[in-house]
Structures are given as structure tokens and as C-alpha cells.
Structure 1
Amino acid sequence: MSQQLEAWRDWYAGSFEVASIDASDRGFAGKSEVWKFDGMALVSVSAPPLRAVRTKSLIRRDPTDHWVITIGKRGATDLMLEKDQTAVPAGVPFVLSLGEFSANQRNLDHRLQLNIARDKFSYFAPALDAARGQALNTPLGGMLSEYISLLERQLPGLTEADAQRLPQAVAGMVAACIATSMDSVTKAHEQISATLKEKARRCIRRNLRSPRLGASMLCRELGMSRSSLYRLLESEGGVQRYIQHHRMAESFALLSDPSNAQQIVVIADDVGMLDLSSFSRAFRRQFGISPTDVREAARAGLDPSLAVVDRGTKGVVSGLLARL
């Protein structure tokens, strides 16, 4: 059982910390199938009782903030976010963002997970962001559950031409089923905030290189006051930290590309960090290793994310760098 469980943990290591909650000696008979298409992936998972946690440490290592719509086919899910906790019945979809802490626990189950890339489908970001952490126990939620189950049955037989047309059709169905269900005043407020945050995120990505990127630019782009902007991004650690997060995430991606021959000072400039020393210090604070470490790992054919340690950790970086 231990070897099977370790293999399962390794498979999900970049996204979730996984722990078995089954004390029996029946082994860990897990099975996972993945179908990928442009900007989306459908994952079919059968596994014994387990707990999966998207920790803040993992989020720092892997800044991917895609959405995941999950359906437990046979069993309920105990779901916990930063401030909320809920039990999601079998057959009911729920939405998580990989950019936020989450923990879920379930018994023996067959689950479907629809992964949606935020950058590819940002036009309905507010609907998915407002629905995250909720059990979509509505008629439209039931329709979405049946639709995703139908995808699982039909995907293996799709032609390449059909697969190319599929993402927009799936996105339309998801948007219709989720957005229409948000009819309360609270949900409307959440959607407005999510829309503004998505607009701020796009503005930052467009202007990473600009030395003028800051609160004033975001206020102009979003048409809001400075105090409102600070409230909007308070949960992200503040305006400057939110901008810094995106700059460091982009630089990590560039340094992790072994085909990128740019000097580190050029990459620092590309993400709006004009001073190399400041960039290196910020990078090490964010990821626990230096830009040079990431570049050397990538050029050695290794995964740089395996070398990332928690922010504030001191000492020698273990794991990947030890093998360089």
C-alpha cells in the first residue's frame, strides 16, 4: 500500500498534498485518466478515502490559478476553504480555484474534475470566482453534473476535429449553468468584486514591464478610488504584493524555460524590475531559491519547482539542487 500511495502522491505533488485516511490493509488502488483539450482538461479519478490539500506553500511554488469543477459520483465531499467549510453531496458540482487554499476529504469515490485555464477563459472569470467553494445544488448545477458525466463517456471517441471545437462549447455550458444561478444581492456584489479583480490582473499582466505600474495606474484602469482598490486587493496581501506576485511568477516561468537564452538582468527588466539586486532578493523571498538556481535546474533538464522551498526557509535547498 505504501508504494501505491507514494506513487499517487508523486502524481499530484505539484498541485495537492495527498494523505490516505483509510486504515485498512487493502492497498491503495487508485486510477486516474486525463483528456486534454485546448485550455481544459477532464480528469476521471477513482481512489480510496483520502484528503487532498492545496496548501499556501504549493501555491507559492506553482502560481497556476486555474479553476477546477469537481463532482463526486458516489460519495460526499467535506470541503474547507480559508474561512468556510461545507459538505457537498454526491453528484453535486463545486468550484475551486488553484490560486487559493483548499482542503477536501472524501471516502471511496469516483470523481470527475474539469480543469479550466483562467487565462484562456477569462471572460467568465467573475462567475466561476463567485461560485468557488460552493455546492451548486441547483437544477442548473444538476445539469452541469450530467453534462460533465456525458463528456467523460464521449471524449474517448471524439475525432480531432470535434476535439478542437469542444472547448468553446464546454465553456458556454459551464458559464450558462453557473452564472445564471447567482441571483442574490450578495452574489452580485461578489461578482462585481471578482470582475474588478480580474480586470486588475489583466492590467498587471499587460504592464509588467512598465515602471509606472502601481496603485495609480490600477485606479485609472479600474475607475475606482485608491481606498477601494486597497479593499479589493486586501485579501491578496495588498496592491504592491499582488503586483510583485505576478512579476515573480512571470520571471519564474521565463527562467524555467531551457530555450530562453536571455540574461537574468534582461528577464528582470522584462518583468519591471530595473535593479538586478532588488529582483534577486524579491525572487528569493518568494521562492526560497535564487534566479540562477532555477535557470541551472531547467538547463539540467530538471523541474525547478521541486527545488522551491517555503518563504523564509534558511539553509541549503534540498531535493533538486542537490542533484545538479
Structure 2
Amino acid sequence: MGDIIVARVVFGAQSFRRDRDLVARTPDHILFHLYNVGGFNGLISGHQTTLWSSQVAIIDLGFEVDTFATSSDTVSLIVPRALLPNLAGGPLPPRLDPARNRLLAAHLMALRERSLFLQESEVAGVVEHTADFLQALLDPVRSKDLAQQEQEFETCYVALAEQAIRNHLASPDLSPELIANEIGVSRATLYRMFAPHGGIMRSVQERRLLAVRAALSDPLETRRLSRLATDFGFRGKVHFSRAFRAQFGVTASEFRAEQVASARKSERTGLDVLTLWWDRLGAVR
């Protein structure tokens, strides 16, 4: 996506080592790794670190890495260092405090979900916004201002609300009250935040449909449509089928078939493709 890579990454238990020679020979990127399942222990960004589910690892690839990870399901964001020019020298912190970790995790989930449906004309703006957000979050001075002025950063609260919706998509108790309580705002504030989007419950419905669409776009997804409908909070398969077709103009079965055919044609999941992206990321064009 422009000069960044965002992807879901699923892997079995493994060790990962990046020594001085590899650091010298390979691109100087920064990896933000949100663990939805699993975790690891070891050396990253110059620090011995243990990290588990719901936490974001900040892996500075300008430094040696020596870790062992359990089987994990993650969302990864790879950013060339050149996109974050205002960060101080030295290794980055391997993880953030709980408040900033929550904001970063919400941003990564929203970015990965949105990346599946971005128009080419939107990419540059999203990349610029992500770089600005990361620099504010990682800069000690700007992050304090961000924490103190969080009420004014409505986009942060929208991201947190979207994360709360994702966390409770299958719950029959998903309601404005639950979302407002989880992110720490009043219902009136929540309604105001989502008024430009057609209202909070419309956003919940759209988020459920986008979650199903994202799942159907994932080559690793094997659940049946009926199971996906249940897992994402729809009252039944008929309700889900009608809503999906009304939103996207095709049936869920047709969309899944299109995605499978596209993945086979483009070989999007091939390791050689990832290696090519990695080497070209942030290169001068």
C-alpha cells in the first residue's frame, strides 16, 4: 500500500534471528506487530521483551533481533524508517504503555481492514496519515500532548469505537451503551461522533459486513458462510445474504469465488512476492 505493507500474518512456533550481518545487508524498516493470538520472548529493539495477546511489538530492524514465538495470528505493519524522520536516534521502545498500545492496536486493525478496499487515489493520504499518527505516538513530547488532548482527537476515539465493535461483533449485547462504556465516552458523544457515518448502529451493521468481506478476501479463511454469518453477529443466513448483496451488489458466494480466482491469478500470497515488496519498500522511484 504505497510505501508501507500491512497484512495478516499467521505462523507456527518459530525462532527469528537478525544478526549484524543481516542488519547491514537488508532494508532498514520498522515492524509493528499486533499479536491477536500468541506472543514471543526475546531481544527486539535493543531490549529483552516478553509480549502476548493484544499487545503490539515495535521491532526496529536497524538492530539485532533474537526471539522465539509461539503459534501466532498477527497483523503486521512494515514502515520504512524514512517515513518517520522526526523520531529520535537510538532504538525504539519494544512496546508502548497500555493507553498508547490500545490506540496503536486499534489503528492497525482499522488499517488492515481498510487496506482491502482502498482506491488507488486514497493510498497516499492513508500512508501520510499513518506516518503522522505513528510519529505522534512514538515521540515522547507529542505523545504526552496526545494523551492530554485525547478528547480533541476524535479520530482516535472513532478507531477505538471501531475496535470495540470488532471485539463484540458476535454479541447480542452489542449496543451504543456497551461501546460508549468501553471507550470511555458518553452516549451523546458517541452519537455525535458517528452522525457523519449515518449513526452508530448503521456503522455496526457496516462493520459486520466489512468483517465478513475481509474474511472472504483472506486466502487463509476456511469457515462456511453460515458460520461466518453467526460469528459476525447476523441473526441468520437469510438476513446475512440479503444484507451482503444489498451492500456490495454480489452474493457472498460470488464474492468468495472472485477472491479465490484473483488470488490464484496474482499469487498474492507467494513468498517471492513478499520478498520483492520488502526490498522495494521505500525505495526512491
TM-score by length of 2: 0.45
For normalisation by structure 1, the TM-score amounts to 0.40
Relative to its length, the structure with more helix (as a share) is 2
Structure showing greater radius of gyration is: 1
Q: Relative contact order, CA 8 A, sep 6+: which one is greater?
A: 2
